[in-house]
Amino acid sequence: MRRFLNAERLEGVALALILLAVGGMAGAASFTHVKDWTMAHAPAGTGEWFGWSNAVISELMPAAALLVIRRRRRSDPHASVAYPLVLLVAAVALSLAAQIAVANDSFSSRLLSSVPALAFLALSKLVLTGTTKTAPTPADEPVDEQVPADLPTDPPPVINPTPVPSTPVAVRSALVSSVVQAPRNGHVLTSEVTR
How many Å apart are CA 23 and CA 117, to the nearest integer? Answer: 10
How many Å apart are CA 92 and CA 101, to the nearest integer? Answer: 14
- When mean pLDDT is compared across 81-85, 105-109, 117-121, the lowest value belongs to 117-121
Q: Residue 51: how many CA atoms within 13 Å on its side-chain side?
A: 20
- When mean pLDDT is compared across 11-25, 62-76, 97-111, the lowest value belongs to 11-25
At 19, the amino acid letter reads L
Is the pLDDT assigned to residue 180 strictly greater than 70?
A: no
β-strands 188-190, 179-181 pairing: antiparallel
Is the pLDDT assigned to residue 167 strictly greater than 80?
A: no
Is the pLDDT assigned to residue 143 strictly greater than 60?
A: no
Mean of the pLDDT values across residues 140-157? 59
How many Å apart are CA 154 and CA 144, to the nearest integer? Answer: 17
Q: pLDDT at position 181, please?
A: 47
Write out pLDDT tens, residues 69-88.
Answer: 888 988 998 889 899 989 98
What are the boundaries of each domain within the chain?
7-42+60-128
> CA of 27: how far to CAs of 3, 58, 69, 156, 181, in Å?
35, 11, 20, 70, 112
Q: For the chain, what is the mean pLDDT?
A: 74
- Confidence class for position 184, pLDDT limits 50, 70, 90: low
- Confidence class for position 195, pLDDT limits 50, 70, 90: very low
Q: pLDDT at position 83, please?
A: 93
Task: Tell the burial category of 5 from Cβ atoms under 10 Å away from its Cβ (0-12, 13-18, 19+).
Answer: exposed
* Contact between residue 85 and residue 55 where contact means Cβ atoms under 8 Å apart: no
Polymer length in residues for the chain: 195
Q: Residue 25: how many CA atoms within 13 Å on its side-chain side?
A: 11
